[in-house]
């Protein structure tokens, strides 16, 4: 192949011509997969760090509850009001947090 380029006088890109597709693939991979995942993880960590008392949470297992107490790595949540059932849940198991309406209105003001 090189002898054809030399015969025509075309030097080509050299080694860069072979690297260019890999660089483009990595750039596309970064923009479509890695960057959105980092943003999502940053948002999740922020959500978990801002858990407060009386927030509604949902865990990975689908358990819904209201936060009663917040500790460093765990949350105590009330799952059933009638029977006063409380669960100790690891913060890493929380998938979503919903702030009660009254607190959310105070935050917006």
Q: Please report, in tens digits, the pLDDT of each residue of the chain (109 residues total).
A: 555 555 555 555 567 778 888 999 999 999 999 999 999 999 999 999 999 999 999 999 999 999 999 999 999 999 998 999 999 999 999 999 998 877 656 556 5
| Domain map (residue ranges) of the chain | 2-46, 52-108
β strands within the chain, DSSP E: 56-59, 64-70, 74-80, 85-90, 94-98
Of 67, 63, 90, the residue nearest 78 (C-alpha): 67
Whole-number pLDDT of residue 102: 72
Whole-number pLDDT of residue 35: 94
Class of CATH domain 52-108: mainly beta
Of 91, 94, 67, 90, the residue nearest 79 (C-alpha): 67
Whole-number pLDDT of residue 13: 58
pTM of the entire predicted model: 0.66
Whole-number pLDDT of residue 14: 63
């Amino acid at each position: 192949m090189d002898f054809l380029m030399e015969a025509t006088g075309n030097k080509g890109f050299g080694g860069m011509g072979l690297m260019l597709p890999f660089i483009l693939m990595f750039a596309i991979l970064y923009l479509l997969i890695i960057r959105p995942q980092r943003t999502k993880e940053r948002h999740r960590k922020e959500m978990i760090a801002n858990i407060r008392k009386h927030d509604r949470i949902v865990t990975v297992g689908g358990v819904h509850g209201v936060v009663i107490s917040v500790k460093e790595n765990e949350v105590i949540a009330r799952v059933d009001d009638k029977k006063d059932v409380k669960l100790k849940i690891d913060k890493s198991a929380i998938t979503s947090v919903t702030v009660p309406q009254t607190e959310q209105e105070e935050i917006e003001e």
